[in-house]
Amino acid sequence: MASGSGRITIQLVDEEAGAEGLQLFRGQSYEAIRAACLDSGLLFRDPYFPAGPDALGYDQLGPDSEKAKGVKWMRPHEFCAEPKFICEDMSRTDVCQGSLGNCWFLAAAASLTLYPRLLCRVVPPGQGFQHGYAGVFHFQLWQFGRWVDVVVDDRLPVREGKLMFVRSEQRNEFWAPLLEKAYAKLHGSYEVMRGGHMNEAFVDFTGGVGEVLYLRHNVPGLFSVLRHALAKESLVGATALSDQGEIRTEDGLVKGHAYSVTGTHKVSLGFTKVRLLRLRNPWGRVEWTGAWSDSCPRWDALPTEWRDALLVKKEDGEFWLVPRGPGERQEEELNAPQLQTLLSIAMEPARAHTRTPGEIGLRTCEQLLQCFGHGHSLALHHFQQLWGLLLAWQAIFDRFDEDASGTMNSYELRLALNAAGFHLNNQLTQALTSRYRDSRLRVDFERFVSCAAQLTCIFRHCSQHLDGGEGIICLTRRQWTEVATFS
C-alpha cells in the first residue's frame, strides 16, 4: 500500500513462526559472539549499544545532565568481589528499583519471577560469570509479534561504587540489571524506560494479550478475577493513578507508582472471611501500614501455621491488604459475638506471658462497640486501635496488681487509671470503684477494661469542650451520671 512518497509493506507471519521463530536483534548471535570472545581472550564490547552517554539518555540522563555526572561503566567483577548471574533461585525480591523511574518495568519483572517457566523464556539459563564467561549475555523479549534475542555486554552504569539503576537484594546478583540493560538497548536508551505501563512490559515478557481493569467503578468478583489470573500464571500488577507524579499517602501506598500483585489468600477471622491480596513495591521498601500490614495485631488472631506461612515481618516492600473497589467497605464489620471470639483468640498468646486471667465477656464487647465502633459493629479497619489499647491496659493491669491476685483494690485501681492517662480525684475514683467492683470489693481485668473504655469515651466527650483539648473539668454527681450514661 502506497502512502505519500513512502511505501508500507504488510506481511503475514504464520502462527508457528510467530510463536517459535527467534529473531536476532541487530543480527547478533549470542553463541557466535561468546565463542569468538573466548577464542580471542577478549571480553565483549557491544558496538550497537556502547557504554557511554547516549546509552543513558537524552534529557534528564543526557550527557550534560546532573544525574549523568560521575557515571562509570563497569563490569560486575570490577566492583563486586564474587558476582553471580543468579545466586540461587530467581525471586521477586531480586528486583529493587534504582534512580530510574521505571517502576512499571521492574514490577513486571518481579511478577515474572513467580513463574519459572515464563522466566526461563525471557532469561535463558546457562549464563554466568564463571566457566565460559566472555562478558556477553542475552535475553529474549517479545516485539512486533515474535521473540527477539537481545545481546548485551555486562558493562553497567555505576555511580559512587553502586549501580545506578535496578539492583538485587543480594548485591552480587546481576540477572535483573542485565535484563534492564537489554530492554534499554531494544528501545534505544535507559531514559526511554522512564515512565511507562506495566501492561506493555507484561506483553513484552510473555507475548500474551494484556488487559486493563479500571476500578473507577466496581468490578464484579474482583478478588476472584485476580485469584484466577494468578492461578493461570498471568502477570498481574496494580497502580493508583496520579496526575501529580508519585505521592506517598498516609497509609504507606504511593500514588502514581506500580506494584506487583504476587498472591491472594482467604483467611478466617472469627466468623468473618477476609480476602487478602499481596503486593510488592519494586523499591524494596515503603509498605502499606494499614489493616493487615506487617505490624498489624490482626495477624495474632490467625492460627500459627497460617501466620507463619503468610506473614514476613521484613522491610522488603511486600505486604498484604484487603482489595476493595470504590464505595466498598474496607472489610466486613464485627458484631459483639464476633468481637468476643476474635479477642478470645487474639489474647490467648498474650495471656500466656501475663498474670491476667479470664476473657472479655459479651456485655463488655457490646460496650467496646459503643465506644470504638458504630454502635453495634466495629469495622476491622478500626480493630488495630482497639487492640493496641487492650494490650496497653493489660500491661497496666498486671503492673499495678501488686499481689498478683488477678484483681485490684481501689488504691491499685486509681494508680492504674492514672497510668492509663485518666487523671481523676478521690471522689471520682471511689464512684468508679463502687460501680465496677464485684461482691468481694475487687476489680478484675474485664471490669477494668469496661471502666477504661467508658472513661475513654467520657474524656473524648469532655475534651471537645476545652480549648486545645486540655484543662480541668468539674462535674457534679448528677452531671457525671449524665455524661457516663450518654458517652
Q: Could you confirm whether 102 is annotated as catalytic?
A: no
DSSP string over 242-285: -SSS-EE-TTS-EET-EEEEEEEEEEEETTEEEEEEEEE-TTS-
Return the DSSP state at 299: G
Question: Which residue in the list 80, 96, 103, 451 is annotated as catalytic?
Answer: 103
Q: With CA atoms as reference, report the closest residue to 434 among 456, 416, 415, 451.
A: 451
103 is catalytic: yes
Contacts of 479 (CB under 8 A, 6+ apart): none
Pairing of strands 156-159, 162-163: antiparallel
Residue 334: all three cell numbers together: 464485627
End-to-end CA separation in angstroms for the chain: 80
List, as one string, the DSSP characters of 110-131.
HHHTT-HHHHHHHS-SS--SST
Task: List strands edge to edge, sheet with 22-24.
Answer: 22-24, 146-153, 136-143
Q: Which three cell numbers stand for residue 322?
A: 484487603
Q: Is the dihedral of CA 328, 331, 335, 337 positive or negative?
A: positive
Q: Which set of grid coordinates corresponds to residue 53?
A: 552517554
- Pick the catalytic residue from 80, 257, 296, 335: 257
DSSP 332: P
Query: How far is the C-alpha of 85 from the C-alpha of 94, rounded, in Å?
Result: 11
Residue 261 sits at the vertex; the CA angle it makes with 255 and 266, to the nearest 5 degrees, is: 115
CB 198 within 8 A of CB 237: yes
Q: Give dist(CA 37, CA 326) in Å, integer.
A: 57
CB atoms within 10 A of CB 460: 12
Give dist(CA 274, CA 266) in Å, integer. Answer: 6
d(CA 41, CA 135): 11
Burial of 341 per CB tally in 10 Å (0-12, 13-18, 19+) = middle
Of 102, 281, 335, 409, which residue is the catalytic one?
281
- Helix axis angle for 426-436 and 410-419, nearest 10°, is 110
DSSP H helical ranges for 299-409:
304-310, 336-351, 362-372, 380-400
Query: Which residues are annotated as catalytic?
Result: 103, 257, 281
